[in-house]
Amino acid sequence: MECQIGVISGDGIGPEIVTEAKKVLDQVGKKYGHNFRYTEILMGGCSIDATGVPLTDDAIETAKASDAVLMGSIGGNTSTSPWYKLAPELRPEAGLLKLRKSLNLFANLRPAYLYEELKEACPLRDDIIGDGFDMMIMRELTGGLYFGERKTEEVDGVVTATDILTYNENEIRRIAKRGFDIAMKRCKKVTSVDKANVLDSSRLWRKVVEEVAKDYPEVTYEHMLVDNCAMQLVKDPKQFDVILTENMFGDILSDEASMVTGSIGMLSSASLNDTKFGLYEPSGGSAPDIAGKGIANPIATILSAAMMLRYSFDLDKEADAIENAVKQVLKEGYRTIDIMPQAGESKDGITQVGTVKMGDLIAERV
Ligand code: NAD
C-alpha cells in the first residue's frame, strides 16, 4: 500500500518522538510491504519562527493532500517563551485549532488501556483492576457547549453568564456512526453517555443513537448517565469497550479514564472527520522541561501511528504488530524515565532507556 503521511514534528520533544514513530512505521513498511512517504508540515512555534504565523495556508493544503497526519506536539514554556507574548491567534496552539477546523475533525478518540507491566501506576485497587482494562473514549469535538453562544451581562443589576449547549441530529448521527464503526473493530459494545434525565440535547442524543444502533445489529449498546459513568470508571472500568459521548462530558471523562492508566507518555489519540482521514497525536504536550535531553517517552506517538494504520489505512494486522511490540518491550523490562518504578517499588529486571533506544527496541520487535 502507498501511504502519503503529513508529519508535524512541532516543538519541544515533538521532533524526538516523531522520529521514533517514523522509525517504527518504516519497519512495518519493510516487513509488510507498504510504502510510507512523509511530507513535513510546519505548525506551532517552529512555524512562527519561520513564517510569522503558527500555520500557513500552504501547510493546511499539504495536510489536506495527505492520507493522514502524524503529529508530535506543539508549543513551548507558556511563562518564558516569546511565542506566548504574541496575540492569542498567533500563538502555537492557534495553529492546531485552525487545523482541526479546516479538516473538520469532529471525532476524537482516546484509548485508555492498562498495561499489565504498568499496573503499579494505576491508582485503583488490585481487585478492581483485575486483568486490566481496555476502553476507547469517542468524544464529539466540534459542537456542544464549547462552541455555543456565550455571554456575560447584567440582568436586573446582577452579573449573569450564559453558555448555550446545542446539538443537531446530524452532528449526533455522524459521531454515533463513528462510535459504532470503531466498536465493530473492537469488542462490539457501545456505552452512550448523556444526561437525558435533565437535558434536551441529551434526549435528542439518545434518540439518534438508538436510530444509528439499528444499523449495527452485532453491536450491544447501552445508555448511561454521565454522573453514573464517572463513578463506574473508577468502580468497574472493565465493563467498558467504546464510550460514546458529547464534547464536554468527553473532555472530563477522557481525562478521568486516562488518569487510571498511568503515564501521559503512553496515551495516544486520534481526531477524525467523515472520511478515512485522521490527525494522530500523543495526548501529552511538548514537554519543554525535558526537550533535547533524549529522555522523552516515544510510546504514545508510536501508538498514535498504530491508530493511524488501523483507522485511516485499515491495516489492522500491522497496527496489532506495533501494539504487541510495545507490550513485548514493556514485558522485557525496558522503561523510559517517566514509567520507571517509583521509590519503594521493585526495580528487579527493569532497564531504563532513552527515547532513541526505546524506538529501536520497539522497531526491532515489530
Ligand atoms: P506537557 O504534557 O507538555 O507536560 C506535562 C508533564 O508531562 C511534564 O513534566 C512533561 O515532562 C511530562 N511529559 C509529557 N509528555 C511526555 C513524554 N512523552 N515523555 C515523558 N514525559 C512527558 O504539558 P504542559 O507542560 O502543560 O505543556 C507544555 C506545552 O505543550 C504548552 O505549550 C502546551 O500548550 C503544549 N501542549 C500541546 C499539546 C499538543 O500539541 N496537542 C497538548 C497539550 C499541551
The three cell numbers locating residue 216:
449495527
In this prediction, residue 260 carries a pLDDT of 84
Residue 45 Cα, ligand 1 centroid: separation in angstroms?
A: 14
CA dihedral (186, 187, 189, 193) positive or negative: negative
Question: What percent helix, strand, coil does the chain show, rounded to 5?
Answer: 45, 20, 35
From the CA of 172, how far away is ligand 1's center (Å)? 31
Nearest alpha-carbon partner for 339 in 263, 285, 258, 260: 263
Query: pLDDT by residue (tens digit) across 39-52?
Result: 999 999 999 999 99
Which residue lies with its CA nearest to atom 42 of ligand 1? 285
Mutate to test the pocket of ligand 1, among 42, 290, 293, 353 (most ligand atoms within 8 A of CB): 290
Residue 265, ligand 1, Cβ within 6 A: yes
SS3 assignment, position 275? coil
- Counts of helices then strands in the chain (DSSP H, E): 12, 14
Query: Which residue, by CA, sits nearest to atom 6 of ligand 1?
Result: 287
Instruction: Please give the pLDDT value at position 226.
Output: 98
For residue 41, what pLDDT is reported? Answer: 98
Atom of ligand 1 nearest to the CA of 13: 18
Tens of pLDDT, residue by residue over 59-117, are 999 999 999 999 999 999 999 999 999 998 999 999 998 998 899 999 999 999 998 88
With a 6 Å cutoff on the Cβ, whether 11 touches ligand 1 is: no
Is the CB of residue 289 below 6 angstroms from any atom belonging to ligand 1?
yes
Q: What is the DSSP secondary-structure string of 85-115? A: GS-GGGSHHHHHHHHHHHTT--EEEEEEE--
325, 331, 337, 339 alpha-carbon torsion, rounded to 10°: 100
Find the 286 Cα to ligand 1 centroid distance in Å: 4
Decide whether any atom of ligand 1 lies within 6 Å of the 95 Cβ: no
Polymer length in residues for the chain? 366
Q: Would you tell me how many other CB atoms lie within 10 Å of the CB of residue 284?
A: 22
User: Does residue 344 carry a pLDDT above 90?
Assistant: no
* Ligand 1 pocket, residue 165 CB under 6 Å: no
Q: What is the pLDDT of residue 253?
A: 94
Distance 341 CA to ligand 1 centre (A): 21
Residue with cell 520533544: 13
Q: Is the CB of 3 under 6 A from ligand 1?
A: no
Mutate to test the pocket of ligand 1, among 11, 70, 73, 293 (most ligand atoms within 8 A of CB): 73
Average pLDDT, the chain: 95
Which residues are marked as active site?
146, 195, 227, 251, 255
Percent of the chain with pLDDT over 70: 100
**CA distance linking residue 56 with residue 76, whole number of Å:** 19
State the residue for C-alpha cell 515489530.
Answer: 366
Q: Which residue has the cell 468527553?
A: 250
- Would you state the cell numbers that stand for residue 192, as one nine-digit string? 452512550
Residue closest to 207 by CA, chosen among 198, 215, 220, 196: 196
The protein residue whose alpha carbon is closest to atom 40 in ligand 1 is 73
Instruction: Give the per-residue pLDDT at 259.
Output: 82
pLDDT higher than threshold 80 for residue 262: no
pLDDT classification of 341: cutoffs 50, 70, 90: confident
How many angstroms separate the CA atoms of 125 and 290, rounded? 31
Each residue's pLDDT tens digit, 119-163: 888 889 999 998 889 999 999 999 999 888 989 999 999 999 999
H/E run at residue 134: strand 134-140
Q: What is the pLDDT of residue 192?
A: 98
Tell me the percentage of the chain whose pLDDT exceeds 90: 85
Residue (of 149, 133, 151, 10) closest to 71 by Cα position: 10
What pLDDT does residue 281 have?
A: 97
Q: Whose CA is nearest to atom 17 of ligand 1?
A: 265
